[in-house]
Amino acid sequence: MYIKQVSVFLENENGRLDDALRILSEGNINILSVCIADTADYGVLRLILGESERGCKILKDAGMAARMDDVIAVVVENEVGSFGKVVKMIQDEGIGIRYIYGLSIPTDGAPIALKTDDQEKTVKVLERGNVKTLSPEDMQAF
Amino acid sequence: MIWNEAKECMPRDEIRALQSSRLVKVVNRVYHNVPYYRKKMQEVGLEPGDIRGVEDLSKLPFTTYEDLNAAYPFGLAAVPPSELVRVHASSGTTGKPKIGVYTRRDIDIWAECVARCLTMAGITRDDIIQVGYGYGLFTGGLGAHYGAEYLGALVIPMSTGNTQKLIDMMIDCKVTAIACTPSYLLHVAEDIEKMGVLDKIHLKAAICGAEPWTDEMRDQMEKRLRIKAYDIYGLTEIFGPGVANDCEYHRGLHIWEDHFLPEIIDPSTLEQQPEGGDGELVITNLTKEGMPLIRYRTKDLTSLEYDKCECGRTMARIQRFRGRTDDMLIIRGVNVFPSQVEAALLTINGMTPHYMLVVDRVDNADTLEVQVEVADNIFTDEISSLEKLSKEVHDKLRQAIGLNAKVRLVEPGGLEHFDGKSKHVTDKRNLYK
């Protein structure tokens, strides 16, 4: 199932990441997972937050470019080759993977965030393959 | 050396008499052949008979970019279309380009003007000259080309874009002169140094124009390339390069007053300034047939000196340009208006008008960076989409202004906004001193 991800546009300049994190901490928002995709000039900070909607709003209110998207949270079993199996399952259906990163939340197995060209179809494929996914409710526990 | 001594060294009173008779003729021509001009003159109650000489110049209405735009493309042509043989154009402030049209005789006069400039730089029919200006709508390439051919020099039409080939041919053909933008020549100098081939080049003179440059740049190119460098001035609306040029004494650019009647006005009151006064340069085409402009406001700020030059020429000298009355930038010889950039950006879905143009000169080449704010509605979580956006901005700008800009996405609010009106240009080159 889907979970909410908040992404923030950051220029590659000293202190920009710090600003975003400070805004969240001042708003008492817990960061569950973090990933940065970077280029030479800028980066996109991708966050899984304790309170996504409120987190996104306070970032925007502070003048930052922020948005909320659905990503699929997959729990991969702690076994050699299991991650490859999941990726292959998706690729065999002809679905392109836009990005992927590890989630740092405590759970049995390795949680991974995933965004693809066709999210709905991906969820169906994963269900069919008995791959465990996390729901927003699951996230409340963290 | 002087190409046309009879004209270039004419006594001042004879220049004035020649200008007066030519002014009367051109005013008659535009009044009778250009409805747009006739209407403009009638609106201020002027008839051709009211203009009896240079002393009546200030009675005539000005011509501005807005007139060119309103009459675009051929509304200011003073001859039937069958007499026209060429069109050139440069960027306009908004919308339509500034266009110039030429008859066969115009092309000849223009070529002679350029030949005078080349001769001033010591170039003769024995020289081999590379033209490193762009060939096309831009007046630089074909203007310099026709002038050099008129002079009888051997012309190599390099155009722009391949510095390696330019240097190779410069060595192989024993090129002795070059016409290009000053920043490009410094870029060429750098490559020659990198290649270690300075001893293999035979260059002795450079005619540089299409953008303002400083004495420091001249010193640099003269020392590094062991040449003499000269400044050439012109504008598409009036002719193109070759309206004025500086001689070996570098006391200002001699303007060919038998073809172009210069005056200086106060840009705020529009009053004609006395001799030597500072203000905006205004030029009247005295001999052009295709599209003669009457009191065209160049928007270039300078002054004119009329004393006889040590070189023997009596033609007035345009002094160092002190800036512009508008926000036009000249980048790599290309005229760029911030309004063009804004119009191009706003064709992109969701783009805000918050942008900044950063112009700099790095290793003697002009650089243009366009900073664009990533507003909420264009921000995405995917790098590939943001890169696509950068590319779209780059391509739209290339289409609009013909330059490759580096696009930098910045955070919203990252650019300064002043009183709701943003400052859109940071020019670090410091060209007007």
Read off the pLDDT of residues B117-165 as tens digits, 9 standing for 90 and up: 999 999 999 999 999 999 999 999 999 999 999 999 999 999 988 999 9
| pLDDT tens, residue by residue, B224-262 | 999 999 999 999 999 999 999 999 999 999 999 999 999
> At CA B352, angle to CA B349 and CA B353, rounded to 5?
125
| pLDDT tens, residue by residue, B175-192 | 999 999 988 898 899 899
Domains belonging to chain A, first-starting first, are: 2-68 (3.30.2130.10), 71-134 (3.30.2130.10)
Q: How far is A44 from chain B (nearest CA, A)?
A: 7
Residue B346 pLDDT greater than 90, yes or no? no
Q: Which of B379, B413, B414 sits opposite A67 (nearest CB)?
A: B379
d(Cα B38, Cα B294) in Å, to the nearest integer?
A: 12
Q: Which amino acid is at B235?
A: L
| pLDDT tens, residue by residue, A39-97 | 989 999 999 999 999 999 999 999 899 999 999 999 999 889 999 999 999 999 999 99
What is the arithmetic mean of pLDDT over B380-406? 92
Q: CB neighbours of B430 closer than 8 A, spacing ≥ 6?
A: none
Q: Which of B383, B410, B413 sits opposite A44 (nearest CB)?
A: B383
Average pLDDT, chain A: 92
Residues in A touching B408 (Cβ below 8 Å): 41
Q: Across the interface, do B411 and A9 touch by the CB < 8 Å criterion?
A: yes
% of chain A with per-residue pLDDT over 70 = 99
B107 in Cβ contact with B86 (< 8 Å): yes
Q: Across the interface, do A66 and B386 touch by the CB < 8 Å criterion?
A: no
A61 contact B CB<8A: no
Question: What is the ipTM metric for this complex?
Answer: 0.86
Q: CB neighbours of B365 closer than 8 A, spacing ≥ 6?
A: B183, B184, B186, B187, B332
Tell which wins on pLDDT, B313 or B321. Answer: B313
d(Cα B317, Cα B303) in Å, to the nearest integer?
A: 8
Residue A107 pLDDT greater than 90, yes or no? no
Which residue in chain A is spatially nearest to B378 when comparing CA positions? A65
Query: What pLDDT is attached to residue B351?
Result: 83
A36 in Cβ contact with A46 (< 8 Å): yes
Residue A117 pLDDT greater than 90, yes or no? yes
Reported confidence tier of residue B419, pLDDT bands at 50, 70, 90: very low
Q: How far is B54 from chain A (nearest CA, A)?
A: 58
Closest CA relative to residue B130, chosen from B189, B177, B199: B177
Residue B433 pLDDT greater than 70, yes or no? no
Average pLDDT, chain B: 93
Q: Which stretches of chain B sit within 8 Å of chain A by CB? A: 374-376, 379-384, 386-387, 408-414
Domains belonging to chain B, first-starting first, are: 69-326 (3.40.50.12780), 331-427 (3.30.300.30)
Reported confidence tier of residue B281, pLDDT bands at 50, 70, 90: very high
Q: Which amino acid is at A41?
A: D
d(Cα B433, Cα B264) in Å, to the nearest integer?
A: 19
| pLDDT tens, residue by residue, B385-397 | 999 999 999 999 9
Query: What pLDDT is attached to residue B282?
Result: 98
Q: Across the interface, do B376 and A66 touch by the CB < 8 Å criterion?
A: yes
| pLDDT tens, residue by residue, B64-120 | 999 999 999 999 999 999 999 999 998 766 668 899 999 999 999 999 999 999 999
